[in-house]
Each structure stands twice: as C-alpha cells, then as structure tokens.
Structure 1
Amino acid sequence: MNGVTGRMGYRQHLVRSILAIRDEGGIVLPDGDRIQVEPVLLGRNAEKLAELAAEHGVAEWSTDLDAVLADPSIDVYFDAQVTSARKEAILDAIAAGKHVYTEKPIANSVADGLELVAAAEAAGVVNGVVHDKLYLPGLQKLKRLIDGGFFGRILSVRGEFGYWVFEGDYLPAQRPSWNYRAEDGGGMTLDMYCHWNYVLENLFGRVQAVWSKSVTHIPQRWDEQGRPYQATADDAAYGIFELESDVIAQINSSWAVRVDRGELVEFQVDGTLGSATAGLFGCRVQSRVSTPKPVWNPDLPTDQDFRSQWDQIPDNQEFGNGFRAQWEQFLADVVAGRPHVYDLAAGVRGLQLVDAALESSTEGRRVELEPITARVPA
C-alpha cells in the first residue's frame, strides 16, 4: 500500500478498508471461503511508516518500492501517492506481476494512462481504479430510482460540489498545498473531473462532449509551513456535459465557495416523471403527481416552501463504507481471476474528460470526446 501516510490513503484505504477487513477475519466469499489480507506499508517517510505500523499492528513496512515488488508473497499493489509519482510505480508493479488497484487520476495524461492499460493487458494482471462515489449511500439510492424507472425519461443532471478551503494565512488550509500547484499534479479539473466522468457514465451515460471553464480564484495561498506560494492550479471548474440519450449535465466544482446546500456534493436529476436530489447520504424525491405549480410574480413573496415539498428516501438498507465495499469487490475479482469492472481503461476515460475540459477552457469552445473502449457495467 503505497501512499498511506496521506489523508485518503490512511483513513479510507488503510484504516477503514484493509485493516477493517483484516480485523474482522477477511472477506467471506459466496462459497464460505475467506480472503485474508495483510498490508505492507510503503512510502518515503520511514518515521511515519514505523509509527503507523506500530499503532495498527502491521508487521511490515518499507521505503524501498523495488524490494517490496520483488517479494513473491505480495499479490496486489495499491497506489495512493501524488499523481505525478503514480505512473512509473504502477508500471513497475505490473512488470513485477502484481495486480494493481489505484486511486485516480491514474496518470497525468491520456497517453500515460493508455500505456498503463496496455501494460496491464499484456501482463494479464487484474487492475482497478477507485470509483468510491458510486458506493455513496445517496448515489446508491439514486441508482435504485434510475433502475426502477422513477424518472421516466431523464432530461438533465445538475451537480454542485465544493466548499471554502482556507488560504492558509487566516486559518490553516484543510487540504494539502500540492493540490493548488499544477507542477505537483494539483488542480480541480484534474482531481474532480475523473470522479464526475465515472459518476456520469455509470448512472446516466458516457460523456460525448464538454464545455468547461477552469479558474484560479485564489492566486496566492500559504503552505503547511506558513510560507506563501503562487497557486498555479485551478481551484474551480464549471462544466456542461453532453451525455448519451441527449441528457445534459452541469456540474460546478469549487474550493472557493461557501456551502448553502444540505451536503458538500449534491446532484439534482430531473425527468419527465419525477426529480431527485442526492448527496453523500441523503436522497430526496418529488414525483410528477406531487410537483407544485408555482407562478412567477416578482411583486409578491412566494408563499410556498419548495424544499418541504420533497420526500426523503428512507435508509431501508445498510450502507457500508464505500471504499471498503469496492476493495472487497476488487479482491474477490483478484482471487477469481476475473476482470474488475472499474478498470484502468475507465481511468483513462476520466483523464480524457480532463484533457477535453482543459482544452475547452483554454480555447473557449465545445470539445467532443472520442470513444475509448472498455467495460461499463450494465
């Protein structure tokens, strides 16, 4: 597990996924067998790795990637490093015959991503890319509505994501400073459009064209040592996406916005028979038969409480940690020797959307996406 000293690698992948699986005795397969897991922690900071290993009862840690990859007892390589370091490490893991599971973006460019896909296919290793947002309770409820025909014909999707990330002078920033330096792999478009691509394509249809604008609203920030630096990466991106079946999606993503919504991310889906608004956990619906009939009148305040006219979908099933759920799915695929549905090619499609969005922003025009063949779940 490479990169577990970072926030996401540590909290979600190590503690809440792999260690939770280990401490509960492994993953139970349909035939009753169990997949047992034991992590080897990998990174650059020996002191931090030693502390984490001691705290969580992990027997092995290392700062030597080559030595770890040469260990025949290791089956899977996981990468949660900064994006700029990811490609070469994954290529080394594939060359060593390891199955690969990685955070996204999988690389810095489409060309680099395609190189990873080709290497994995040639080596015959199972490969997967984290698609954590598909496992969020709110989006799983939304998927049930789609599968059940609640919306009728889906017309549009509107997404709002983001929050105010402090600059670092007034209050310490709650995100690492590298996120705001393009030279270190930072940027809202690169970070979040990979997520939006898999959310859109797995719920509503693949992205066929995009118009997007990337912006750096806050030009100067302060790093973890309190030193000022120029923010060379975009901290907001505003996109319009044309999907299959003539669905139009609009998503605003910003680390320079103050939240006036129920959750840090929300998607509203409108269809001919009903609408829904889904966040991380909740999902509210309004059907055609319960849709109000407002009338525009700028002379009088409205007498309707529009938010009260939506119904909350109950938590009528148990939703576990989404990162862990996908880890279990990926490891089951490794043991069975079958392809993981959210593979490296899916990660390339995310990078393709990033490239198209940045091209659109630079040139101020709509950009079409060429199809990239890979698996998309039915």
Structure 2
Amino acid sequence: MTNSPERRPIGIALNGVTGRMGYRQHLVRSLLAIRADGGLPLADGTVLWPEPVLVGRNEAKLADIAGRHGLTDWTTDLHATLARDDVEIYFDALTTQHREKAVAAAIEAGKHIYSEKPVAADLAGAMTLVRAADQAGVKVGVVADKIFLPGLQKLKRLVDSGFFGKVLSVRGEFGYWVFEGDWQPAQRPSWNYRAADGGGMVLDMFPHWHYVLEHLFGPVTAVQCVTRTHIPRRFDEEGIEYLATAEDAAYAIFELPGGVIAQFNSSWAVRVFRDELVEFQVDGTHGSAVAGLRHCRAQARTATPRPVWDPDLPAGTDQRGDWSTVPDNTVFENGFRVQWERFLRHVVAGEPFPWDLRAAARGVQLAELALVAASEGRRVEIPGLP
C-alpha cells in the first residue's frame, strides 16, 4: 500500500475576482483547474493545494461565484483578509486606478504578490512598489500571459533556432471593434475609455507589448507614438452616454537593439480582417513568420517567391500558400494556468520567476514615455530604471 503525497495548502486572496479576467482566467481556468487535477506536484513530492479567498466589493456577486464552485471563503474586507496568517499570496485583478494602493497594503502585510498589469498608473508608483517589495522581502510576480500563447511560443522557437538570421523588423496588429454601447453592449467596461479611471490603450496594452518584445528580441530603447480617440462618445453599462476621454487607438514605432524596428497598431476601433485578434510578423534576412494567438506560419529564404510589381495583370501567385505552418510539437496548456503554476513553485520552492515588479515597471515606463512622445510629437529614448 502506497502513501498518498502530502498536501500543502496555500491561501490565495483573489481581489477583483468578479471581473471577467479575474474570474474566467485566474480563478476558473487556473486555480480551480489545478485543484480539479489534484493539485500542483512539487519536486519534493508535496502536492500544493490552492485555497482561494474571494475578495471584492459586491457581496451578491461573490456569493454567487462561491456557490457555483463549491467555495465558502469570500469577503468584502480586504484588510481583514491580509491580516490572516493562512493567506500567503495576494493576487490583484482590480482596475488600474485601485491596484497600486491594494498591492502596497498587501506588501505591508507581508504577503507575496501576484498581479495583473499595469501594476501602477505611472512609473513613480511602480517603482514605489518595487522598493517596498524589496524592503519587505516578499516574492513578486506579474502576469505576462501573452508569451505563453501557443503562437508566440512557436515564434520564440523560431527565434531561438536562428531561423530568421538577422531580425530586421516586427509588425504587430492588435484590436477589434468595441461596440459603442448604444445598439449593442460594449465588450469592454466603460472605465477603459475614461482617462480619470485609468483607461486608455497605451497604459492597457503597451506593458504587454513591452514584455513580448523584451522576451523575443530585447528591450525597447526608444519610442514614437500617435494616439487617437476615434470614438468620442460611448454608452456605459447603464446605457448612459458619456464622453470618452482616453485614447482608443495607438500607433507606435519601437526601436530595439541591433537596429530592429517594431511597428504596432493597437485599436479598439478597427474591424478585423486577419486570422486572429492579434498578429505579429517578424522579417529577417533568412526568413519571416506571422504568429497569432495559436497559429504560426513561416517562410524561409529558400522558399521565398520572387514578386514583380505589375498592376496591369492579375496576381498570379497565392501569397499565403507559400507559407508553411509551424507545427505544435507539444501540448499547450492555458497560459494563465502555466504562469500561476510557475509562480506558486517560485513562492514555495524558490524556482525562478523573471516576471517581477521591476519587469512590470519597465512596461509602465514604456507606456508613460509613449504618451510623452504622443503629446510632444517626438521620438523619446527609454532610459534604464533607477
């Protein structure tokens, strides 16, 4: 008769779990999925068992979520939760304007920190959290879900293999049409379009583009940016018209080491005519690739056709047909869950976790300086963090 592995519970306060991402990706598809599979095995044979504590402001929503998933531990009192000895990790999925204060309180309480991004509304706030966490000696992690997407993992495989030769340029296309909210409900909360509430495309998405570019090609060294509020009036969750004060689109040029140029179009006012909601094209001397959420296609130098410009004749080649599909070659798990597992092992077993508050601060810095570049109409260099 074999002994069952020892189960080691770990309390996790999930703040903002009533929101779409906090509920769907972090609670259901990550922590509850880990529990459904019997816990998270550690190298020493211990099985880590997440114990979620649901935190939020709406008692009815919290009770409903808890009831649907057989959970009993929920509260609207964050400070009482942070005072509990059995809660070791604080996770934050609040809106941007509320995150910095809540994370700071959790650090002061001695909790390990895992957070959505951006971690703060500006670089000064992000660096305050960095210093506080360093002083408290807590372990920290920030969500970097995009690099765990199957498409980007395949793209990283090509980069690491030297497939591209010298990388020349990167082009990113992200976005979709977010309904104004009058004749169809908007797919995103109204605070996303109010600057006073921490909304705006740049602060929302540029921290993501930063860690994607840094992970694949290196840090961003300079930025140019143009922002627009294409849809100036929208309707909120109650159907009330409001003025959109935050940009809903940003068009940027990022400079990377080695002369690489990355151009990113990010818009919530664009209709999709591409295979996926986000796509990255990388062009190099020896090959090119286009990666999305799940798929990646590549064209090697030896398989590149010889286009000739002739507007008087119909196109004689299938441009997409000359690209090869990069195979899966593995099973891709949910990226949020994979990163949760790595962070939990980081907290309990000391395994490395590179996506910390300092890395997140670099993303906030890029967003902040991109807005400077947009407002002043100039190229802005990105200095190193203090």
- State the TM-score, normalized to the length of structure 2: 0.95
Q: Which residue of 1 aligns with 2:4?
A: none
For 1:340 and 1:97, locate their aligned partners in 2 and report how far apart those are by CA, in whole Å: 19
Match of 1:143 among 156, 162, 168: 156
1:1-378 to 2 correspondences below 5 Å: 1-337=14-350, 340-372=353-385
Deviant stretches of 4+, over 4 Å:
none
Q: Distance in 2 between matches of 1:229 and 1:171?
A: 15
CA distance in structure 1 between the partners assigned to 2:352 and 2:358 by the alignment: 12
2:298 counterpart SS class: strand
Distance 1:270 1:337 in 2: 38
Q: Percent identity between the aligned chains?
A: 63
For residue 59 of structure 1, report the CA deviation from its aligned partner: 1.9
Q: Structure 1, residues 98-118: CA drift from partner, whole Å, max 9, x if none?
A: 000000000111000000000
SS at match of 1:207: coil
Secondary structure at the aligned position of 1:305 is classed as coil
The one-letter code of the counterpart of 1:77 is: Y
Structural RMSD (CA): 0.9
Check conservation: 1:127, 1:339, Cα contact below 8 A: no
Letter in 1 for 2:130: V
CA distance in structure 2 between the aligned counterparts of 1:205 and 1:144, rounded to whole angstroms: 15
Letter in 2 for 1:210: V
**AA aligned opposite 2:172:** G
Paired amino acid for 1:150: F
Larger CA deviation: 302-311 vs 22-31:
22-31
The DSSP-based 3-state class of the residue aligned with 1:76 is: strand
Give the Å deviation of 1:250.
0.4
Structure 2 residue matching 1:35: 3-state secondary structure = strand
Q: CA deviation at 1:26?
A: 1.1
Deviation at 1:338?
5.3
In the alignment, the residues of structure 2 paired with residue 184 and residue 167 of structure 1 have an alpha-carbon distance, to the nearest angstrom, of 18
Runs of 5+ consecutive residues of structure 2 not aligned to the other structure? 1-13
Listed one character per residue, the Cα deviations across residues 188-220 of structure 1 (whole Å, up to 9, x for unaligned) are 011000100000011011000000111100000
Residue type of the alignment partner of 2:359: A
User: How many angstroms apart in 1 are the aligned matches of 2:240 and 2:212?
Assistant: 37
Displacement of 1:372 in angstroms is 2.2
Q: How many residues are treated as equivalent by the alignment? A: 373
Does the aligned pair in 2 maintain the 1:102–1:130 contact within 8 Å?
A: yes
SS at match of 1:241: strand
Q: Encode CA deviations 1:121-145: one digit per residue, 9 max, x unaligned.
A: 0011000110000000000000001
Q: Deviations over 1:214-238 (max 9, x none)?
A: 1100000001111100000100000
Secondary structure, counterpart of 1:206 in structure 2: coil
Which sits farther off after the overlay, 27-36 or 211-220? 27-36
Taking the aligned partners of 1:100 and 1:49, their CA distance within structure 2 comes to 21
CA distance in 2, matches of 1:155, 1:366: 20
Where do 5+ consecutive residues of structure 1 fail to align? 374-378
